[in-house]
Chain A
Amino acid sequence: MVMKRFLALVFLVFLFSVQSLSVFGIQRFPKPEFESGYIQPETLMPAPRAEMLALLDIAVLILSLSVVTWLVLKKRSRKGVFWMSLFSLAYFGFYREGCICSIGSIQNVTLALFDTSYVIPLTAIVFFIAPLVYTLFFGRTFCAGVCPFGALQDLVAFSPQKLGSRINAVLGVIPYIYLGLAVLYAATGTDFIICRYDPFVGIWRFNASFGMFVFGGLLLVTGIFIARPYCRFLCPYGVLLNWSSRFSRKHITITPAGCIQCRLCENSCPYDAIDIPATSKNPEDKRTMGRKLIFITVLIPLLIFAGGWTGSKLHEPLAGVNAKVRLAKQILNPPKDTGKPETFEIQAFKSSGKPQKQVFDEASLVLKKFYLGGWILGGFIGLVFGGLIAGRIITRHHADYVPNKGNCFSCVRCVDYCPVK
């Protein structure tokens, strides 16, 4: 007992001393001295992370993933998952202030792929890959108890309602579009929109724009009735986890043995992620199915092309977010013409001495990237629609109540409803 306490104390001392390293990491250069009594404002962005602490983040992530996976698959413990999610909320959410997170790491990876000058941090790579690897083998255990976004929303899901096929189908498309846009903006070096529009960052950091606070608050209030609205209908990383999870061999099951069709678990999932059994025969004959398959085979390339064409047509509005394009636009259309004061961008450009031709050339290059990106984004969205429709034609039916591998967050709620032990 004494030994245990001693070890715990040593661990805590180690943890706190490691934490203090960040102080040295931040203050590499002394702050300027002010004689007027001016107090330096606090840095709003998270401070640069000491290398050691970055490794600690990775270790905590891997450890959390392993523990949650063990709790989900071996212990089948909802309580365990709940407490782990609270830990993740505290560590990845409030302590790490939501940065780095796996959702945002999509953008780091994309930028690294498209911009050779960008050096991607090791943390970003691991945060991107590790949850996907775990999901590929064990299902979305990351969503269950490691992701602070999920943990926060799970905490407030007091009265979850079933949404039904229609709403799930319509809203379920949004994450794909969001993912496409996030990749497009990251690949073109425009912006990390996932981070910019992170609804909970204000809660983690106690600092955000009023609009983002409102957005986050609304999501949480919605989350009381519609469980995990961000995870289900917005999260772009969820799309990748969904795809990976479909191949998971060790996914959680509702029943540890055979399903007795008692229907007790039917309404247990707050995320509508339990597939009901196909008790009757498919009413569609083989001929109709065949026709539909031919139709969808023809439709998918058409959807890809139509989506791509539309995306390419929208490349200029999409590129309007890019700082280079925005500056070029402002130069071409000085704010004076619109009766507005001169923008900071214009003022900075003027003082930089940068030639206008260079700005225009850079903006043109960005526009060209967006043109290609518009084709790819539109084509991707077209493919998503085609794939979703095809997935609902080619259905492998099952006789038992099973978690939908793609959508299930492995929260283990349904397990407690199963009378088979």
Chain B
Amino acid sequence: MNKQNSPGKTISLLQSIAFAGAMLAFVLCILISVNYFQVKKSDPLNSPAMKTMIERFRNNPDDEQIKSEIREFDLLARKAFFTNQWQIRTGGTLLLFSVLIVIICLKTIELLSAKLPLMPDTATTNFWDSRTLNRKWVAYSGIFLVCVSLIFAFLTHNELGKTLELTGKTPGSAADSNLLSKSTGASTADSISASDSGSGVRQDSLPAASSLDAYPTQQEINSNSASFRGPGGNGIVYQRGFPSSWDGRSGKNIKWKTAVPLPGYNSPVVWNDKIFLSGASASKREVYCFDFNTGKILWHTVVDKIPGSSATAPKVNGETGFSAPTLTTDGRRVYAIFANGDLVALDYAGKQVWAKNLGLPKNHYGHSSSLAMFHDLLIVQFDQSGSANVLALSGTTGKEVWKTSRDVKISWSSPIIVNTGKQTEAMLVAEPFVISYNPSTGKELWRFNCISGEVGPSLAYADGVVFSVNDYSKLAAVQLGASPKLLWESDEYLSDIPSPVATSKYLFLPTSYGMMACYDAKTGTKYWEHDFATPTYASPVLADGNIFQMDKKGVMHIFKADKTYISVNDSPLGESSVCTPAFAGGRIIIRGDKNLYCIGK
């Protein structure tokens, strides 16, 4: 009888031990977890008590009592931290042993209570049914996996590769400037090595016929000045070695000067050895090509007989004129738009490639938004009264690639094309929003409500912050990110015509009445203000670590892009000017009231 009961008792005892072991293991698991989270959460060296004591010590650096308290508290906190870690390690060892005991007990029970195998109660599963069921479920899991993968595949935007290739080709990419400016403290433009600052003599720019359908690399764009306010329209020059002193009257550093036949407030654009401008009157519109090296007009093309073009001249303000928008070029063709909505693409010999009329702009001052290029797409901001659009046309054919309606008011600002690090965006501003678009598709990426009125100044961008400004509205710094947010704002100085320019550290804001203000780009702290005492319509440009600001009298105010105002020079052109200068090939191209100037050392 005793012999028969013996295994039963042993099993019962083992069961009890196993249960106790399991309970111990469970409790240990909980304790270890709690301890782990405590260790993870605690930051002994940054506890509020410690901070308070350190603050007290800072106020009384000679107080030995506080010093000693800090040391004691520090030692205590460290001891607590390491004790917790020791507890986790010891707990882990105990856990392992308790689990081992459970396993040994249960294995022994298994051995002691071994039973003879029994026939299953249920009928044998049909082999074929089992196979079919298995096959079906493999198929179901396959379908499920395919569906999930497809959803992920469609939700995934594989743009990193393209961005890397584009950015990798570009020494002056946004990423370069973002990181370098952070690490070196240099300005955005300073951080970029010049690829084209040599002699100032530029070579023939006519591209090979086979590359006419291609578009320029970012390096080519940065080596030229292909649009209003330079590459991307952001007011930043990615080259070095520009003159900072000249005199139009004495001819000092003036390489050449050529009269421009028709008036216009558009700024010059430069591509290798060619400079492009447009001029217009109420009845005539022309595009000019100047030789970069000699200033000679290589050709001029009259823009007329465009299908759909209105016979009636638009009503324009005297300060806007009939050809305010700056041209743009992709190194293959040059594109121009006029106040009557005529849009034309010319090849580098001046021959019309395509032309169309966008309709007579309903614009009480006259259309003035400059053109922009992204790859082979011509971006046109067409914010008119009652109808605002942004559209992209194929540079090769003029065919509309996308058109996005904008729920904004009429505006006179121009788009900027910016690589934010994540992607390239086309940013536009008009009451009431700053809106960013994917320049390839026209899809809106984000918007931010921060502006009002008749917006003239374009945006400025640096290091993830976009700056918008308008008169009778406010200056707003918008931090990009998952959702854009207002970083800071100010209404002390506002602009109605010239656009601001920014680096990762500073924002330089000109006003049309001649004031220039410098702000901390991230906090909005105003560092300085300076009165040039002359109105300024041209936008400032950052080059060689200096800001170049042309005033209406034709004097270029050159000063350091720094937190204190340090004048480098004031160089007179000898002629009034309202146009933003173009910087390329070590030379500055300035459009005066009557003449085009080339400034070079």
Contact = CB atoms under 8 A, between A and B. Distances in A.
Interface of A: 155-156, 158, 165-166, 168-170, 172-173, 177, 203, 206, 210, 217, 262-268, 275-280, 282-284, 303, 306-307, 310-311, 313-317, 319, 325, 328-329, 331-334, 336-339, 346, 350, 356-357, 360-361, 363-364, 367-368, 371, 378, 381, 385, 388-389, 392-393, 395, 397, 416-417
B164 A315 contact: no
Contacts of A314: 149, 152-153, 156
B150 interface: yes
B119 A264 contact: yes
A332 B175 contact: yes
B414 interface: no
Contact of B421 (A333, A389, A393): A333
Contact of B422 (A206, A333, A397): A333
Contacts of A155: 103, 107
Given A156-B103, A332-B175, A385-B142, A393 B135 contact: yes
B63 interface: no
A331 B180 CA distance: 10
B135 A389 contact: yes
A346 B92 CA distance: 36
Contact of B29 (A158, A217, A385): A217
Interface residues of B, number: 67
Interface string B121-143: 00011111011111111111110
A392 B176 contact: no
B146 interface: yes
Nearest to B143: A385
Interface in B164-182: 164-165, 167-168, 171, 173, 175-176, 178-179, 182
B482 interface: yes
B142 A316 contact: no
B110 interface: yes
A336 B153 CA distance: 29
A350 B135 contact: no
B145 interface: yes
B138 A279 contact: no
Interface core residue of B118, B142, B178, B421 (most chain A CB under 10 Å): B142
B464 A360 contact: no
Contacts of A203: 96
B137 A165 contact: yes
Contacts, number: 174
A177 B148 CA distance: 14
A13 B134 CA distance: 55
Nearest to B132: A392
Interface string B14-41: 0000000000000001000000100010
A173 B141 contact: yes
B133 A310 contact: no
A397 B127 contact: yes
A332 B152 contact: no
B158 A417 contact: no
A332 B421 contact: yes
Given A276-B127, A389-B135, A357 B141 contact: no
A392 B131 contact: yes
Given A334-B178, A364-B164, A280 B29 contact: no
B569 interface: no
Nearest to B178: A334
Interface in B240-258: none
B163 interface: yes
B480 interface: yes
A194 B44 CA distance: 35
A338 to B, nearest CB: 6
B135 A329 contact: no
Contacts of B164: 328, 332, 360, 363-364, 367
Given A310-B149, A334-B179, 20 more contacts: A155-B107, A158-B110, A165-B133, A166-B137, A168-B134, A173-B142, A262-B119, A303-B142, A314-B152, A316-B156, A331-B178, A332-B164, A332-B167, A336-B464, A357-B168, A385-B141, A389-B139, A389-B142, A392-B138, A393-B135
Contacts of B463: 336
Among B141, B160, B168: residue with most chain A CB under 10 A: B160
Nearest to B93: A206
Main SS of the interface on chain A? helix
Q: Which residue, A165, A371, A397, has most C-beta atoms of chain B within 10 A?
A: A165
A230 B117 CA distance: 27
Contacts of A364: 161, 164-165, 168
Interface string B25-68: 00001000000100010000000000000000000000000000
A385 B149 CA distance: 14
A388 B482 contact: no
A45 B447 CA distance: 50
A333 B420 CA distance: 8
Contacts of A363: 160, 164
Contacts of B128: 278, 280, 282-284
Contacts of B133: 165-166, 169
27 contacts: A168-B134, A169-B141, A173-B138, A210-B36, A276-B125, A277-B127, A279-B124, A284-B128, A313-B154, A314-B152, A328-B160, A329-B160, A331-B178, A331-B179, A332-B160, A332-B163, A333-B422, A334-B182, A337-B464, A337-B479, A360-B167, A360-B168, A363-B160, A364-B168, A371-B161, A385-B145, A392-B131
A339 to B, nearest CB: 7
A177 to B, nearest CB: 8
A170 B167 CA distance: 44
B103 A316 contact: no
B120 interface: yes
A330 to B, nearest CB: 9
B153 to A, nearest CB: 4
Nearest to A266: B120
Contact of B183 (A158, A276, A316, A350): A350
Nearest to A361: B168
Interface string B178-220: 1100110000000000000000000000000000000000000
B392 to A, nearest CB: 24
B145 A381 contact: yes
A357 B176 CA distance: 9
Of A307, A328, A332, chain B has the most CB atoms within 10 Å of the CB of: A332
Contacts of A206: 89, 92-93, 96
Given A334-B464, A337-B480, A339-B481, A325 B138 contact: no
B160 A165 contact: no
B262 interface: no
B106 interface: yes
A197 B413 CA distance: 54
Contacts of B464: 334, 336-337
A250 B154 CA distance: 49
B124 A263 contact: yes
A82 B173 CA distance: 63
B107 to A, nearest CB: 8
Contact of B124 (A266, A334, A361, A371): A266
A206 B163 CA distance: 44
Contacts of A339: 481
A241 to B, nearest CB: 20
Contacts of B179: 331, 334, 346, 350, 356
Rank and list the top 6 A-B pairs by shortest CB-CB distance, nearest first: A313-B153, A360-B168, A392-B135, A169-B137, A278-B127, A385-B142
Interface string B407-441: 00000000000001110000000000000000000
A316 B182 contact: no
Contacts of A266: 119-120, 124
Nearest to A384: B142
B422 A332 contact: yes
Contacts of B142: 173, 303, 385, 389
A169 B132 CA distance: 11
B160 A417 contact: no
B344 to A, nearest CB: 36
Contacts of A284: 128
A416 B167 CA distance: 68
